[in-house]
A and B are shown apart, each in its own frame.
Chain A
Amino acid sequence: MKYFLRYTYRYCVGIIACVALSQTVCAQTESDAIMIPKNYLCVAGMYAHNSWDNYWEGTLKRDNLNLGTVSSNIYNAGLVYGLSNRINISAFVPYIQTKASAGTLRGQRGFQDINLAFKWMAIREQIGTGILSFHAIATGSIPVSDYQGDYLPFALGSRSKSVALRGLINYQRGRFFIAGAGQYIRKDNITIDRDAYYTTEMHYTNQVALPNATNFLVSAGFRSLLLNVEAIATKYTTLGGFDITRNNMPFPSNRMNATAVGGLVKYMPQYVRGLEFTIGGSYVTSGRNVGQNTQIMGGIDYVFSVKKEKN
């Protein structure tokens, strides 16, 4: 049991970018069952590369010779801290660059939003030969720079404040686990640079109401002291919003849905305690008003106690 706890607690963080036509970045720590112990700090840095050639204009899949391949680089840095063995808090800020391989439109670059998370392991019970845990995760994001949210597909994000609640259930038996999570994301209105815009009707305001969203996830895999391998499927659904009309530009309040599959491998070398390397990838299998994104990512983090251990 003690052995089990040690490796459950150790790992810090990976990265998942639930990427639509706009970039949504969230740290993996918000969507897995892994906790770090009380008074431990994790310092994390990650890199992700996203790219797509095809996108869905409404439900119609197409390419665009005037965009070619749209890509982004995300450099995400942050901290996770164990307030207790059951409560972790984290803060991450990504720097993002976007560009297209064709056409003339200029990409964007800059810091996006600070992503804050509060993760509470509410339930932890032995069930049969395994451990069942339930985690409640509250997250919020606030833009940290004055980037253009209304510049899709190159915008760094939608430049919206958001809050989200996620419930995550994880069952671990031996070294194998399976997890499922559901999240509801509530988004604030955004202010754009234009003073009017057309959705399915004309709007004379610079305020845009963004639809809320849900995000469901299932994952399964293997966790040991040395290695963590998992497969992840996510389904992000916008609750409302409108379709891009034929040959039109995307807009922040489009109905953006994406189903993605991916995986993560985390390696924890035994020669430096607390050091972790992560690589991963994901691919959007179906979507609506989003790019068919392929992501590859890598991360490195270091977990250490900020209080002298009493041994």
Chain B
Amino acid sequence: MAVSLFAASCKKDITERNQVFEALAPANPDSTAGAWTPILTGSSTFTLALPDAKGTPNYTADLNEIKSYQKNLTSEQKDIIKYWSAGSVLRWNEILRELVAKHNLPPYQNDDGTYPFPSAANPLAYPLFPFSNPPYAARAYAYVSAAQYDALVQTFKFKYTSGYRREAPYANDANVQALVPKSKLPSYPSEDAAVAGATAQMMILLFPGDLDYIQKKVAEEKLYRLMAGANTRSDWDAGENLGKQVANVFLARARADKANLAAGAKDDWTKLETDAKAAGNTPWISLELPHRPPMLPLFPKVTPILMPAADVVAIRPAAPFKEGSAEYQKDMDEVMAMSKNYDRDHERIVAFWADGVGTATPPGHWNSIAAEEFVKHNWSEVRWARNMALLNMAEMDAAIVCWDTKYFYFNPRPTQMVAGIKTLTGIPNFPSYISGHATFSGAAATVLGYLVPERATEFMTMANEAGMSRLYGAIHYRNDCTVGLATGVKVGTYAVNRAKTDGAN
């Protein structure tokens, strides 16, 4: 009795939110998505072998493979079906968030007080490549989402091209069961495979030290499609092949977007300091010990994915409040008051939105918010991909615009200006103005508010809270947060404008 009471006295079970997602059953299959405007591959040509027709020995063998799987599915295999049936774009988005969180760790210093930089050529040596800080993560989410979207648009083009059209296994053979909701879409090439192929190919660049894990997930998803009777092996292989071809276009762009130069070198770091001094401002200094070089100071030079490069400078906000001015002092006093404020609700908000070391970053948090909203809408995979791409392209450009502002003004954090300001969360290692959290959140809420208009106000309230969390945490001035939010909204508008004309409405 006493023992069972003891054993029952503490809860140990947890059901995570993403474990209870239902199988994706799109209300509208978006069968005309082949005509939607792709991001990068509008004028690309891709090649794909024609599928074997129904009744050919190869196709019959494919169907028999499915039937042999379905004859005795283990509970583990049924779990795989349940997991992946929630959606390919959704699950790959989660996997990407997980990799970002795993790699979002600032390198430990060298013995001489300098810091090592991760090397893409040697990703498994310490410090592991990449350090997926917010700009890195924003760009990774953008390329993966955009590649998935284009891969699906190209997939839809082939699906309805004469000669390629082939129905799902369960439609072609009465003895194949559909263990996922039936789709009216032709099955060749597989949408899931296109998403998986595109994603895995992008990971060669973005998370090269985790390819074993990625390939295991690809294999698992492939098995899921076969076991579920949703695709044949040849449907899958064609989709995966097409996804990789599409991803190669994105890889070429990503390799040339100057992100690989974003860390800069000592001369760049020194120049930021001397430029700020020349302009009569106090230059930012790292508050870490030993002082860490500023995070990705040349990220502003990365080619934006949605907006014209010239607009990065055009929408750069006006200078922060001048040191010593009345507005500056008012903001500083507020930060000092926040530092001494023990309001539990402030602590909660700061922690909820902190998204710091070891997390999926603020763009990742907004991906999670988006995903949990999108599952309610029963969108098709291609619409999922399009909406995620809009969100994440806005986040990538928000990173560029925000980092441009940060390094153009190079202004200090409150704690640098007044010794003894204690913070409720870690101080990120880059200048204060404008808040990254506010910028990312303003852009995300703008895109999500367009996609789900009934929740637009709520998303903007959340974005505002995310921005304000940085003031409550005493790591940002109010002005950093309000201007950041407004700037994020401007960036988000580029994605909304694209969404209005991409053919998906």
Binding site for B on A (CB under 8 A): 65-66, 102-107, 109, 140, 146, 148, 150-151, 161-163, 165, 186-189, 192-198, 201-205, 207-209, 245-249
Q: How far is the CA of A248 from the CA of B128 in the complex (A)?
A: 13
Q: Which residue of B lies closest to A200 (CB)?
A: B102
Name the residue among A104, A107, A196, A201 with the largest chain B CB count within 10 angstroms.
Answer: A104
Q: Contact at B415–A247, with CB atoms within 8 Å?
A: no
Q: Which residue of B lies closest to A197 (CB)?
A: B359
Residues of A within 8 A of B46 (CB): none
Q: How far is the CB of A280 from chain B (nearest CB, A)?
A: 30
The answer to whether B193 has its CB under 8 Å from any CB of chain A is no
Q: How far is the CA of A57 from the CA of B108 in the complex (A)?
A: 12
Q: Contact at B368–A247, with CB atoms within 8 Å?
A: no
Q: Contact at B289–A194, with CB atoms within 8 Å?
A: no
Q: Which residue of B lies closest to A202 (CB)?
A: B98
Q: Contact at B10–A161, with CB atoms within 8 Å?
A: yes
The answer to whether B74 has its CB under 8 Å from any CB of chain A is no
Q: Contact at A202–B358, with CB atoms within 8 Å?
A: no
Q: Contact at A198–B359, with CB atoms within 8 Å?
A: yes
Q: How far is the CB of A188 from chain B (nearest CB, A)?
A: 4
Q: Contact at B108–A246, with CB atoms within 8 Å?
A: yes
Residues of A within 8 A of B120 (CB): none
Q: Which one of B14, B102, B423, B424 contacts A198 once the chains associate, using CB atoms below 8 Å?
A: B102
Q: How far is the CB of B358 from chain A (nearest CB, A)?
A: 5
Q: Contact at B289–A207, with CB atoms within 8 Å?
A: no
Q: Could you tell me how many residues of chain B have their Cβ less than 8 Å away from some Cβ of chain A?
A: 50
CB proximity to A under 8 Å, residues B346-386? 347-348, 351-352, 354, 356-360, 365, 368
Q: How far is the CA of A125 from the CA of B483 in the complex (A)?
A: 76
Of B15-23, B36-44, B269-277, B430-438, the segment with at least 4 beta carbons within 8 Å of chain A is B15-23
Residues of A within 8 A of B360 (CB): 196, 198, 202
Q: Contact at A194–B351, with CB atoms within 8 Å?
A: yes
Q: Which residue of A lies closest to B416 (CB)?
A: A104
Given contacts A106-B424, A150-B351, A209-B12, contact A248 B105 (CB under 8 A): yes
Q: How far is the CA of A165 from the CA of B4 in the complex (A)?
A: 13
Residues of A within 8 A of B17 (CB): 204-205
Q: Which residue of B lies closest to A62 (CB)?
A: B108
Q: Contact at A194–B9, with CB atoms within 8 Å?
A: no
10 closest A-B pairs by beta carbon, nearest first, are A193-B351, A106-B422, A65-B289, A198-B101, A188-B10, A202-B98, A247-B108, A205-B16, A207-B14, A204-B17
Given contacts A186-B6, A248-B358, contact A193 B347 (CB under 8 A): yes
Q: Which one of A65, A202, A205, A245 contacts B14 once the chains associate, using CB atoms below 8 Å?
A: A205
Q: Which residue of B lies closest to A205 (CB)?
A: B16
Q: How far is the CA of A189 from the CA of B108 in the complex (A)?
A: 32
Q: Contact at A65–B290, with CB atoms within 8 Å?
A: yes
Residues of A within 8 A of B14 (CB): 189, 203, 205, 207-209
Q: How far is the CB of A92 from chain B (nearest CB, A)?
A: 20
Q: How far is the CB of A71 from chain B (nearest CB, A)?
A: 15
Q: How far is the CB of B262 from chain A (nearest CB, A)?
A: 20
Q: How far is the CB of A262 from chain B (nearest CB, A)?
A: 28
The answer to whether B339 has its CB under 8 Å from any CB of chain A is yes
Q: Contact at B421–A104, with CB atoms within 8 Å?
A: yes
Q: Which one of A161, A162, A186, A247 contacts B7 once the chains associate, using CB atoms below 8 Å?
A: A186
Q: How far is the CA of A187 from the CA of B126 in the complex (A)?
A: 35
Q: Which one of A106, A188, A194, A207 contacts B354 once the chains associate, using CB atoms below 8 Å?
A: A194
The answer to whether B94 has its CB under 8 Å from any CB of chain A is yes
